[in-house]
Amino acid sequence: MKISAKTKTCLIIGDPVEHSLSPAMHNAGYLALGIDDQFVFLGAKVRVEDVGAAVQSMRKMGIHGLTCTIPHKVEVMKYLDEIDETARKIGAVNTVLNKNGKLIGFNTDWLGVVIPLEKITTLLDKKVLVLGAGGAARAVVFGLLKRGSKVSIFNRTKQKAIDLAKEFNCQEIDLNVESEISNFDIIINTTSVGMKPLENETPISTEFIHGRQIVFDTVYVPFETRFLKEAKKRGAKIINGIEMLLYQGTAQFEIYTGQKAPEEAMKRVLYEKN
Ligand code: NAP
């Protein structure tokens, strides 16, 4: 055991939080770099009404990093000293760094989508269909537009897609003609459809998905959703939600430690847990 009273603590807060893979992923990274005496990553269940108190504890106890997951990414913002421009534009914070007593909020979720996509394609001028208009969609839309993609948003509640498209200056689409799905280069599911208890559903029909498309599902439990399985059968390249978890995590690791994240070690632990 290398942990001592000098070790810096990072913490993921959420409700629920017990299922989170972030502690395993970050601790594997510390171990791989031999800095597991300097950093440790834990989890704490925090109710939404207690987020202010949790941030106050971070200040009082000198907690180094605070990772925020559902449902705290928006609520936490009002308790911070500074919010970086990207997180402000996305409207959510998933990473809080305690920099000599100053609490600074960041958002790395958008990198969780952009990095895995850019490993297999360029995003400039690509036609991308984003399914969903919630918190995850905001980070996804931001990242794609930053890279110059042409984004269309489809959502069950149409008005939310219209509002999001207006805010980010992109398109809303109603998909009344399902064959329009075939016109996109990339399709990204940011809805919770495919996750338990909706694991037997797909967010849209897969009938028009084809082999020249990339299909990305942000859902990571199950590891390969029905949507991804069907898209793969139709020849599309697929990317699962674990990849998003990994790359939002590597970016966050770098903010907390100031060191390049050991991607392979962090990836291994995520895939071992699935
Ligand atoms: P959210 O803000 O609550 O948004 C949920 C979205 O899903 C909304 O667009 C909602 O549509 C849609 N939706 C929910 N149930 C639906 C249904 N039965 N049929 C059609 N649409 C439905 O949640 P979020 O924070 O964006 O998270 C969404 C998903 O992203 C989660 O499943 C999570 O697994 C995934 N995620 C993954 C990562 C990762 O690291 N891999 C990170 C963040 C999020 P309405 O507007 O019509 O309600």
With 0-12 / 13-18 / 19 or more C-beta atoms within 10 angstroms meaning exposed / middle / buried, residue 50 is middle
Question: How far is the C-alpha of 80 from the C-alpha of 72, rounded, in Å?
Answer: 13
User: 196: pLDDT confidence band, cut at 50, 70 and 90?
Assistant: confident
Structure tokens at 37: 């005496």
Distance from residue 193's CA to the centre of ligand 1 (Å): 7
Q: How far is the CA of 171 from the centre of ligand 1 (A)?
A: 19
Condensed to tens digits (0 to 9), the pLDDT of residues 211-235 reads 999 999 999 989 999 999 999 999 9
pLDDT at 71 over 80: yes
Work out the percent of the chain whose per-residue pLDDT is above 70. Answer: 99
Looking at ligand 1, which atom is closest to the CA of residue 156? 47
CA distance linking residue 266 with residue 22, whole number of Å: 10
pLDDT band for 177, please (50, 70, 90 cuts). confident
Distance, in Å, from the CA atom of 101 to the CA atom of 126, rounded to the nearest integer, reads: 42
Instruction: State yes or no: pLDDT of 273 exceeds 80.
Output: no
Catalytic residue among 2, 45, 60, 73: 73
Q: Check residue 56 and give its pLDDT.
A: 97
- Of the pLDDT bands very low, low, confident and very high (cuts 50, 70, 90), residue 144 is very high
73 is catalytic: yes
Numbers of helices and strands, H then E, in the chain: 9, 12
CB atoms within 10 A of CB 183: 12
User: Which residues 6+ apart lie within 8 Å of 177 measured at CB?
Assistant: none
Report whether residue 141 contacts ligand 1, using a CB cutoff of 6 Å.
no
117 and 139 Cβ atoms separated by less than 8 Å: no
Report whether 92 contacts 77 (CB < 8 A).
yes
Residue that the structure tokens 């928006």 belong to: 74
Ligand 1 pocket check for 155: Cβ under 6 Å = yes
Task: Label residue 61 exposed, middle or buried (CB < 10 Å: 0-12, 13-18, 19+).
Answer: exposed
| Ligand 1, atom 3: closest residue by C-alpha | 134
Residue 135 near ligand 1, beta carbon < 6 Å: yes
Say how far apart CA 260 and CA 274 lie, in whole Å.
Answer: 25
What does the alpha-carbon distance between residue 91 and residue 224 come to, in Å, rounded to a whole number? 29
- Residue pLDDT, tens place only, 38-47: 999 999 999 9
Closest CA to 148 of 130, 170, 165: 170
- HSE (side-chain half, CA atoms, 13 Å) at 146: 16
Average confidence (pLDDT) over 254-259: 98
